[in-house]
């Protein structure tokens, strides 16, 4: 049975109940609007692009009203700030790339880092196994040069000094090693006549 505005106005609004439009407006004016200065400050602190603040504020208000229309929150202030926080997180996620100047402090707004899901973990482990297998198939000197350059990030000069060879030889090992790895990892069969 649907409530009429008259029936709803006879009793106080209870947390967890749905609100009709006039009651929602009264609740919003009484409970949410007084929080606006603190909410604007929160948005300014956590979102660097100040030209977005008004839009963010309006989006937060829309979400609050939509949610309160379905069910009135038990406590308004935590609900309002949680809604704002989620709105900022959604904006960051939608952007895909987070410029440094866009977000002041990701920890302050509690953005969960994009942790890889189980499927991505399995795929990454499989790719690492494939890479390790391909590295193991390289000749020992070629593998050493590739590991020193690509994993330990040493310069050609540093690799030459560590391996006791000329820089030109290091360049040759690196070129041959990277070509062989690309062939092994990306399906191009290696030429059996070439040495790595």
Average pLDDT of every residue of the chain: 78
Give 65-120 pLDDT, tens digit per residue: 888 888 888 888 999 999 998 888 888 777 655 455 455 555 555 544 455 667 77
Taking residues 135-163, report their average pLDDT: 91
Domain residues for the domain of 23 are: 5-109
Question: At residue 165, does pLDDT exceed 60?
Answer: yes
Do residues 66 and 11 both lie within one domain? yes
Span 19-38, mean pLDDT? 85
Kindly state whether residue 31 falls inside one of the protein's structural domains.
Answer: yes
Inter-CA distances, 91 with 37, 55, 97, Å = 21, 11, 10
Residues 88 and 42 placed together within one structural domain of the fold:
yes
Last residue of a domain, one of 50, 80, 109: 109
Asked if residue 194 belongs to a domain, the reply is no
Final residue belonging to a domain, choices 57, 80, 109: 109
- For tokens 């602190």, the residue is 45
How many angstroms separate the CA atoms of 98 and 114, rounded? 12
158: domain CATH number is 1.10.10.10
Contact between residue 39 and residue 60 where contact means Cβ atoms under 8 Å apart: yes
Q: What is the pLDDT of residue 14?
A: 45
Helix, strand or coil for residue 165? coil
């Amino acid at each position: 049975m649907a409530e009429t505005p008259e029936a709803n106005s006879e009793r106080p609004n209870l947390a967890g109940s749905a609100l009709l439009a006039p009651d929602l407006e009264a609740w919003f004016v009484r409970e949410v609007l007084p929080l606006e200065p603190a909410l604007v400050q929160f948005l300014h602190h956590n979102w660097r692009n100040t030209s977005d603040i008004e839009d963010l504020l309006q989006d937060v208000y829309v979400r609050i009203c939509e949610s309160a229309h379905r069910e009135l929150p038990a406590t308004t202030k935590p609900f309002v700030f949680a809604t704002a926080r989620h709105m900022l997180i959604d904006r960051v996620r939608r952007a895909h790339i987070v410029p440094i100047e866009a977000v002041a402090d990701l920890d302050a707004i509690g953005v969960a880092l994009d942790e890889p899901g189980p499927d991505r973990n399995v795929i990454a482990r499989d790719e690492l196994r494939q890479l390790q297998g391909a590295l193991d198939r390289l000749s020992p000197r070629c593998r050493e040069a590739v590991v020193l350059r690509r994993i330990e990030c040493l310069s050609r000069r540093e690799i030459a000094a560590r391996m006791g060879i000329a820089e030109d030889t290091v360049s040759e090992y690196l070129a041959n090693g990277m070509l062989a790895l690309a062939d092994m990892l990306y399906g191009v069969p290696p030429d059996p006549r070439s040495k790595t």
